[in-house]
């Protein structure tokens, strides 16, 4: 299986630079320190699969220029991961049909509430609505038009969210704890994309030290950290990482 992942956004819910901030990272001229909200694009088996519609989705699509979106895999329902949902409607025009969207029941329920106008015919629809087919998935493997995808539960504070594995690639975002059975499901990876928020500890996300420990336990051949705040200065802090771990950045292409 040949898989290509493009990091669309490697930042947190605030993005980087942060509004009104004059720290070293927010003023950095290094393009790797400019971080849109978290999302990634996976190309595999002739399909283009999007991981979350971040609140910077429109900008990310204008940068990446995918010809189509065959499916969206939602990790959870926080706004930085679903906020770009409305702009899926442009792919309805491109593809002449709905976009297939997958996620847990709580995530899909929240999308139905947050974007009620797309699902409730009694609400005035305006100039257009995103047309989607929502598919509820449970932990474990499911088939996405012939491609095996594994939904792997991780903890985001008190919230259970999904990581996703496709072959030897896995995307784990917003995790603060990985259950034992989920560590087992992440064995044998070639590429791991894992959240590493900042240097200090946080109640609902791995910090860098915790992410390093989790990555070393998972043992992927290559690991890329994402979902980083402006506490992380790419060039300076890269020296803190083990040899097989690196910070991701917007536009990074990872081939497996």
Helix (H) or strand (E) holding 147: strand 147-156
**Structural domain range at position 196:** 3-255
pLDDT tens, residue by residue, 225-247 = 999 999 999 999 999 999 999 99
How deeply is 229 buried, as exposed, middle or buried, from its count of CB atoms within 10 A (0-12, 13-18, 19+)?
buried
193 is written with which tokens?
């994309």
Retrieve residue 211's tokens. 């992410």
Cα–Cα–Cα angle for 7, 9, 11, nearest 5°?
130
The string of pLDDT tens digits covering residues 172-202 is 999 999 999 999 999 999 999 999 999 999 9
Mode of pairing for the β-strands spanning 39-44 and 47-51: antiparallel
Q: How confident is the model at residue 31 (pLDDT cuts 50, 70, 90)?
A: very high
Distance of CA 134 to the CA centre of its chain: 18
Provide the domain count of the chain.
Answer: 1
247 contact partners, CB below 8 Å, separation of at least 6: 10, 32, 196, 224, 225, 228, 232, 234, 237, 238, 241
113 by Cβ neighbours in 10 Å (0-12 / 13-18 / 19+) ranks as exposed
We report the CATH number of the domain holding residue 44 as: 3.60.15.10
Q: What is the pLDDT of residues 72-131, one digit of tens each?
A: 999 999 999 999 999 999 999 999 999 999 999 999 999 999 999 999 877 766 668 999
User: What H or E segment, with its residue span, contains residue 80?
Assistant: helix 79-82
Pair of tokens at residue 232 = 């992380």
């Amino acid at each position: 299986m040949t898989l290509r992942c493009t990091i669309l956004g490697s930042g947190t819910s605030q993005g980087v630079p942060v509004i009104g901030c004059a720290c070293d990272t927010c003023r950095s001229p290094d393009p790797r320190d400019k971080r849109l909200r978290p999302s990634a694009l996976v190309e595999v088996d002739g399909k283009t699969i999007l991981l979350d519609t971040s609140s910077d989705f429109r900008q990310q699509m204008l940068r990446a220029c995918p010809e189509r979106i065959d499916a969206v895999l939602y990790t959870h329902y926080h706004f930085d991961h679903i906020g770009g949902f409305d702009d899926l409607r442009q792919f309805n025009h491109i593809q002449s049909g709905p976009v297939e969207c997958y996620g847990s029941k709580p995530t899909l329920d929240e999308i139905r509430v947050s974007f009620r106008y797309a699902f409730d015919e009694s609400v005035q629809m305006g100039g257009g609505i995103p047309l989607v087919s929502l598919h509820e998935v449970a932990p474990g493997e499911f088939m996405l038009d012939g491609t095996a995808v594994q939904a792997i539960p991780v903890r985001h504070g008190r919230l259970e969210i999904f990581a996703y594995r496709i072959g030897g690639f896995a995307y784990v975002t917003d995790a603060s704890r990985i259950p034992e059975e989920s560590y087992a499901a992440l064995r044998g990876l070639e590429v791991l994309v894992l959240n590493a928020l900042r240097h200090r500890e946080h109640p609902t996300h791995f910090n860098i030290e915790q992410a390093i420990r989790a990555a070393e336990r998972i043992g992927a051949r290559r690991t890329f950290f994402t979902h980083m705040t402006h506490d992380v200065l790419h060039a300076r802090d890269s020296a803190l990482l083990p040899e097989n771990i690196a910070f991701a950045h917007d536009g990074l292409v990872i081939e497996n």
